[in-house]
Amino acid sequence: MTCEETRVLVNALVDGELDAGHAREAEAHVASCPDCAARLRDYRVMRQALSAPALRHQAPAALRARIEGALPQHRVAAVAPSRRSLLKGLAAGSVLSGALAAGLVVFVMRQEEDQRILGDVVSAHLRSLQGDHLIDVQSTDQHTVKPWFNGRLDVAPPVVDLTAQGFTLIGGRVDYIDARPVAAIVYKRRAHVINLFVAQVAGGAGPEPRATIEQVQGFNIWRWSRSDLGFWAVSDINAEELQEFGDKFAAAVRSGA
Amino acid sequence: MAAGVGDEDADKARRFRDAALPHLDDVYTLARYLLRSAADADDAVQECYLRAFRHFDGLRGQATKPWLMAILRNVCRAEFARRSGASADVADVAEDAAPLWQEPTTSPESAVLRRHDSETVRALVAALPEPFREAIVLRDINDLSYREIAEVVGAPIGTVMSRLGRARSMLREAWLEAERAPQYEERST
């Protein structure tokens, strides 16, 4: 084999794109050719330097938000037909009063918004498990994680350490639900990740609603709200354990607030 | 785009988010190296995702990442065309003008390449001409296989290998040059 041929192969060798036979041939040549050996060695140094995380760029959060915002929003999508069918019912001589019909529309809208948000929660959870998107601030210390959200969000999420209760705080990040930035606080239960999303929600007056557990696309979601904050905890741990997490979290927030 | 979208679109949007958004940093990284401007990269990536969403239904059993990067590349090409007015595809001309494997073997055989800091490495890559810069970014920074790169740039694997070979030779030369002239770092930033 000549140097000419090997130079192509040296690259493929560095890239691990050669089958065993060709790799042996290339290595045999490199062993007897100082020039190709130097090249191979240098390419490996270069390749290693180029794989450093610092060489990569992180997409700005504003860009991510713009892209999310440009996608069709489920709210308009899902509600339009329902509202139409309700109104059609009225036109057909329904005895529903206008006020009651309006109430129903709002109810239907809320139902569908809920479903969309739950879907988003699962999507965000799945996203977080791919690549290095799980945590932006890595800390088991609630006093580090909580202030990290300052200035990044318009909510100050309660961050509580539940390590003693078997749920280890591992960090936090900003994520997007319903095309809005929200706080994601990340816990671990054994090998399972629990994402706890916190966002500002409407409401506040009235009694605190009961927490609920729902299953969406095979994941359990615990939902709770307190004054103007909404909480969604999502994980693949079983419903009982997630309920336990929710109870412990809610208790800690109540006693801390 | 809100009016008239149905459940199907909402579902499509959700599937698109799950499939495409995890690759955002990769796509953005490629855009930064191809366009060498943060503002242009922002615009190109947004346009890329818009186009990708429009054509998402056409993606059947194909890997999402190379598909997104191929779209980004087309967006960037349009941007190059805009920048250079009517001037034709500079990249391909450069490739033809630079015969493969003819570079002088000036590298000292004994010296091991010195490690540069990331800033310098970034500048060295950014200084490579197209299509060699693209080849090395796709391979070494975006970590695509030869087959995936061929898919992104729409060229045979053989062409990808030659470009990558040439790119590494050029980068090595520039690397050694930067070692000999450390002030390169100041000039380049």
Q: What is the pLDDT of residues A113-166, one digit of tens each?
A: 777 888 889 888 988 887 667 888 888 888 888 888 888 888 889 999 998 889
Asked if B132 has any chain A CB less than 8 Å from its own CB, the reply is no
Instruction: Judge: B125–A55 Cβ closer than 8 Å, yes or no.
Output: yes
Same domain, yes or no: B120 and B173: yes
pLDDT above 60: residue A195: yes
Q: Which residues of A77-116 are buried (b: 16+ CB within 10 A; e: fewer)?
A: bbbbeeeeebeeeeeeeeeeeeeebeeeeeebeeebeeeb
Task: Establish how many alpha carbons lie within 13 A of residue B102's alpha carbon, considering only the half-sphere containing its beta carbon.
Answer: 6
Q: Are residues B108 and B71 in the same domain?
A: no
State the CATH number of the domain containing residue B54.
1.10.1740.10
Instruction: Pick A221 or A204 by higher pLDDT.
Output: A221
Location of structure tokens 């569908």? A112
Q: How far apart are CA A131 and CA A125, in angstroms?
A: 12
Q: Which of the listed residues B83, B110, B131 is the one where a domain comes to its end?
A: B83
Query: Fold identical between A3-55 and A61-256?
Result: no
Confidence of residue B167 (pLDDT cuts 50, 70, 90): very high
The model carries a pTM of: 0.55
Same domain, B103 and B182: yes
Q: Is A46 on the interface with B (CB under 8 A)?
A: yes
- Same domain membership, residue B65 and residue B115: no
Q: Alpha-carbon distance A16 to B139, whole Å? A: 12
Question: From residue A152, how far is each of A55, A146, B186 by CA, in Å?
Answer: 25, 11, 34
Q: A70 touching B, CB under 8 A? A: yes
A46: confidence class by pLDDT, cuts 50, 70, 90: very high
Average pLDDT, rounded, for chain A: 81
In this complex, the residue of A8, A66, A74 whose CB is nearest that of residue B165 is: A8
Q: Measured between beta carbons, which residues in chain A are less than 8 angstroms from residue B109?
A: 34-35, 37-38
The answer to whether B163 faces chain A, any CB pair under 8 Å, is no
Residues B134, B181 share a domain: yes
Domain limits, chain A:
3-55, 61-256
Residue positions counted in chain B: 189
How many cross-chain Cβ pairs, A to B, lie less than 8 Å apart? 153
Does B102 share its domain with B144?
Answer: yes
What number of other Cβ atoms are within 10 A of residue B60's Cβ?
A: 5
CB contact under 8 A, A71 and B42: no
Q: Measured between alpha carbons, how far is A72 from A103 in angstroms, rounded to an integer?
A: 26
CATH H superfamily, domain A61-256:
MucB/RseB, C-terminal domain (3.30.200.100)
Q: Does A61 touch chain B (CB under 8 A)?
A: no
Residue-number span of the structural domain to which B28 is assigned: 7-83
Tell me how many domains chain B contains: 2
Mean model confidence pLDDT for chain B: 80
DSSP assigned state of B63: -
**Greater pLDDT, A246 or B178:** A246
The verdict on a CB contact (< 8 Å) between A45 and B112 is yes
- Bond before B131 cis per omega within 30 degrees: yes
- Asked whether residue B71 falls in the same domain as residue B155, the answer is no
Shared-domain flag, residues B76 and B120: no
User: Within an 8 Å CB–CB cutoff, is residue A126 touching chain B?
Assistant: yes
Last residue of a domain, one of B83, B113, B137: B83
Question: Residues A161-187: what's their mean pLDDT?
Answer: 90
The pLDDT tens digits of the residues spanning B143-166 come to 999 989 999 999 988 889 889 999
User: Could you tell me if B71 and B52 lie in one domain?
Assistant: yes
CATH dotted code for A3-55: 1.10.10
Q: Could B6 and A119 be called an inter-chain contact, meaning their C-beta atoms sit closer than 8 Å?
A: no
Structural domain ending residue among the three candidates B59, B83, B107: B83
Contacts of B45 (CB under 8 A, 6+ apart): A59, A63, A67, B24, B27, B28, B31, B72
Residue in chain A closest to B43 (alpha carbons) equals A63
Residues B14 and B70 in one domain: yes
Same domain, B96 and B182: yes
Q: What is the CATH number of the domain that holds B150?
A: 1.10.10.10
Q: Are residues B99 and B178 located together in one domain of the fold?
A: yes
